[in-house]
Structure formats: C-alpha cells, structure tokens
Structure 1
C-alpha cells in the first residue's frame, strides 16, 4: 500500500483551508465595498436633497451662511427691528448671534425649564407671557429693550453681553456664532448688496401683499404702495433699499413672493441655480426703490 508523505498530507489539509480563507476574504471585501457604495449613495442623496430643498443664503467677504427659509425670515426680523429702532448694525449682529445660540433661529415652543421662542426667554423671569414670547417681533423688541440698558454694549465682547442680557450659564458659546451673526446683519442691513438669495418651491396659492405691508411697517418701520399683486417701497438711499429688498427675499417663502427688484437688479423665485443669484432686471427702477411681486392664485 503506497505511503503518503507527511508534507503531502499537510498540503492536502491546507488547500481546502486556503480556499475557505480566500472565500471569506472575498466576502469581507464584497461586504465592505457594498457598505461603501451604500454610504456613498446615502451621502449623495442627502447632498442632493439638501441642495434641492428650500434654502436661503447670505454671503459677504467670502463667507456664506446657509439657512432654512424659516431661519432666514427670523434673522431678517431681528436685523430689521434693530434698524427700525435706529440701532447700529452691531445690535443686529448681537441679536442674530444670540438667537443662533439659543434656538438656531427657530421660534421654539419649548426649551430649558420654561424658556420659549427665538431667544429662549423665560416668562418666569419677567420677559412676557408664553404667547407674547412666541411672537417673534415682541420677543425681539424685548431683547433689544434689555440690550440698550447695558452701558457700553456697543463695544462689549459678545460673551459679556450675553451674560448680562440672557443670564446665560455658558456665555462663551455665543462667540462661536459671532461670524454668522455678522454676515447676516451685514447683508440684511444692505451693506452688502445682492447677497441674500433663496431657492424655493413654487408658491402655493396667491401671495399676501397685505400681510407684507403690515410686516414691513412693524419690522422695518416703512410703508409701501400696493397695485394688484405688486408692492413698491421707497427708501432714503440705496443701502436702505437693499436692506428692504433682501429682507423681502427672506420673507418670500412665508408671504408668497415671486420676485424682488432693487434698482437694476432682480431676484426671481425658483428651485435652480438661477434663484441663487441676483440678475439684471428686465424692468429696472430707481436705485432707491424696491418692487416686490407676489404669486397669483
């Protein structure tokens, strides 16, 4: 009977084992590759959806802040009311920075203990009732009421201001958002032009020029003239015209605005890249005028 060498036996035993290891190795590679592909798919889909979904942007000095339409509308309220009250742009920066830290610029119905609203103000601390603090115009005015009582607030570090106004337990956190606050205050105050845009879905139903005029007066202290689905607003100078125009873009989702013209530049509502820029106006107006067009039924 032929004898099989020890080496041959070992080789025979190892060959199936090697094949099994190769199969397992290939399975591991396949699983990892599938995971990478799936992760890339999810990431790409998320990026696509984020890019396609309604978004607003404000850009100045090479820095862009991207927000939801709700957040941009609230930022515009905060900056607009500061202007109406005759406060310097620094006040708008402080207000927006605070609201980013407190609520991410959302009008929250909840918070720590009894905190609510944009600034997470507490009824128990004398800021107002819950209903009042959920009114963004009321809560913003209450914030500025407290701010202007602080001596030296115009030059004080934002962490110190936050501690005095908000009585924050972690005032240093506000400094993390000061750059965003500056960008939003600068653009929404009209110091940087053609800088606020929104990519939006088509308006649902007719726009609301009447609500626009009411909000324009309450938040900016300005008036306009309505003609059908168009409102025209005059301003003292080009900067204030741009402040009004970019405030109007920030309110476009909320009020069914389809186009905003400032002087010879125009923003038009849309879902694509065109809505991320201001273009030459087809029907220019005076540099100190703003024309706002609303959706029809």
Structure 2
C-alpha cells in the first residue's frame, strides 16, 4: 500500500514537472515565420529565438541598405545559421568571432569591429560580391568560397530556412513574421532615438512612417517586428494590418492604405 502511494505521488510530480516545463517553453519569447502558399522548397513554418530574429533582421537590413541581390541575402543567412546559429558569439574556433565567425588574424577586422553585427555583415557581403560568378553558384559553394570552412557542405542544410527568412524580411510575404510572448517593458530610450539610429545603421533610412510602396513597407514592418524586443515596440502597422506585442499576431485594423506606423511601449 505504501509503495503504491509513493509511486502515485512520484507519477504526479513527474506530470507536474513536464506540464510546467512545457508551459515555460511555450511562454518564452520567440518569432515564427510562415511561408506563403505554394512555396516549394520552403518549410511551412520556422521558429526562432528573439536573438536569432534580431540577427536575421540585421543581416537582411544591411543587405537592403547595400542593395545586394536577394540571392546574396540567402547566402548570408545560411552562412550565419551554420557558423553561429545566428548569435553574435564572442568566441569560437581559434580567434573566430561574431555572426559569421570571422577571424581578426585573417584580416576581417578588429575584435571590436567583428563583434558589431552591422560591420561583420557588411564585411561578409563585400567579400561575397567580390567572388567571380558567385550568383550562379550553389549556396554552399558561394558561402564556402568566402568562409573557407572545415565543413563546406553544411551550408546547404540551412538554405530552406534562410530562403524563408529572406522572403519574409525582404517584404515578399506580407504579415508572415510574428513574434510572441515578448516582454512588455518600456524602452530604455523613450525618446525614440534608438529606433531611428538602428534603422539608419541597418536600413540606411530613418523614415519609418507614412506612405510606403508595398514591398518596401512590408520589408520595414517585418524588420521592426523582428527587432521588436530590442526596440521595445508595442505595435507595428502597415497597410491596415497591425502587429501588437500583446497579441503577437498581425490583425486587420483598418483599410489598406499603404501607410507605415510604429508605437513603442509606454509612448504617450
């Protein structure tokens, strides 16, 4: 009888631990990308941590500022997924650092420069575009030509999710990027300067409101949502659809008008 009671209690404890663990995972901040209908070769959905989302937004934003082809954006994302898991690592193999695991000893820049995601991303694109015929290469070949990795075939494993991220962040799949369970905390810089400064550094523009062409508007709106945790955004609106930190989803909020707007948490 005692043994049966002990076993029952243990079973209950295990169940509670599993339920609590699953609840904790479900409540963690995360971002999800949904592929457009009829998108062969793309995963139907892909989920990232907010750190990964932030890094992806930087990689695509810098690519747009530099005016690189969409193919280069996919190559850059696939490379960063393989090299760092889209994390700005402060270490790695030998003296490798940052999103792309670039090495100061190989001429990529100083440690401080490489740990600046905008700098390291710009350096990657610059090196890629110097490769003759890179645009006609497979993703893994183009990435390996720049990176000289010990595992050259691994880049190809990440092409599908890289393409999905690129399609969404380039504005080619409206309302496809959502972020949920973000902290609803006021920004450290309530003046709004942090938003404009980040946009200038990554996108090359401070204009984040008003009328925007469709693809441009969705690219900026998606970039904002991907950076929402860092920028403490309460809402992003484009073309009548609004993402909010509360719902974590895009919802129809007004007529389709091609206008972009954002609101920070605690903003009057």
Scaled by the length of structure 1, the TM-score of the pair is: 0.80
Question: Do the aligned partners of residues 153 and 35 (structure 1) sit closer, same or farther apart at CA in structure 2, a change above 3 Å counting?
Answer: farther
- Correspondence for 1:219 among 202, 221, 236: 202
In the alignment, the residues of structure 2 paired with residue 120 and residue 233 of structure 1 have an alpha-carbon distance, to the nearest angstrom, of 38
CA-to-aligned-CA distance 1:174-226 (integer Å, 9 cap, x gap): 111111101111101110000111111212346452111121122112232xx
- Correspondence for 2:26 among 37, 42, 51: 51
**Counterpart residue number, 1:167:** 148
CA-to-aligned-CA distance 1:128-162 (integer Å, 9 cap, x gap): 00000010000000000111011222231122122
Shift of 1:296: 2.3
Give the secondary-structure state (helix, strand or coil) at the position aligned to 2:220: helix
Give yes or no for the alignment of 1:243 onto 2:219: yes
Give the secondary-structure state (helix, strand or coil) at the position aligned to 1:154: helix
Q: Where do residues 274-289 of structure 1 align in structure 2 (5 Å cutoff)?
A: 274-275=247-248, 277-282=249-254, 286-287=257-258, 289=259
In the alignment, the residues of structure 1 paired with residue 176 and residue 148 of structure 2 have an alpha-carbon distance, to the nearest angstrom, of 34
Q: Which of these two proteins has the greater Rg computed from alpha carbons? A: 1
In the alignment, the residues of structure 2 paired with residue 233 and residue 47 of structure 1 have an alpha-carbon distance, to the nearest angstrom, of 41
Give yes or no for the alignment of 1:232 onto 2:202: no
Shift of 1:295: 1.8
Shift of 1:85: 1.4
Scaled by the length of structure 2, the TM-score of the pair is: 0.88
In the alignment, the residues of structure 2 paired with residue 261 and residue 196 of structure 1 have an alpha-carbon distance, to the nearest angstrom, of 13
Give yes or no for the alignment of 1:269 onto 2:245: yes
Give yes or no for the alignment of 1:120 onto 2:114: no
In the alignment, the residues of structure 1 paired with residue 143 and residue 11 of structure 2 have an alpha-carbon distance, to the nearest angstrom, of 44
Conservation of the 8 A alpha-carbon contact between 2:186 and 2:264: no
Mean Cα displacement is larger for which, 205-214 or 134-143?
205-214
In the alignment, the residues of structure 2 paired with residue 204 and residue 222 of structure 1 have an alpha-carbon distance, to the nearest angstrom, of 24
Residue segments in structure 2 that go unaligned for 5+ positions in a row: 37-42
Residue segments in structure 1 that go unaligned for 5+ positions in a row: 1-22, 225-230
In the alignment, the residues of structure 2 paired with residue 263 and residue 91 of structure 1 have an alpha-carbon distance, to the nearest angstrom, of 28
In the alignment, the residues of structure 2 paired with residue 36 and residue 162 of structure 1 have an alpha-carbon distance, to the nearest angstrom, of 50
Give the secondary-structure state (helix, strand or coil) at the position aligned to 1:211: helix
Question: Do the aligned partners of residues 38 and 132 (structure 1) sit closer, same or farther apart at CA in structure 2, a change above 3 Å counting?
Answer: same
In the alignment, the residues of structure 2 paired with residue 203 and residue 185 of structure 1 have an alpha-carbon distance, to the nearest angstrom, of 29
Q: Where do residues 97-112 of structure 1 align in structure 2 (5 Å cutoff)?
A: 97-112=78-93
When the two chains are superposed, the root-mean-square deviation of aligned CA atoms in Å is 2.3
Mean Cα displacement is larger for which, 144-153 or 55-64?
55-64
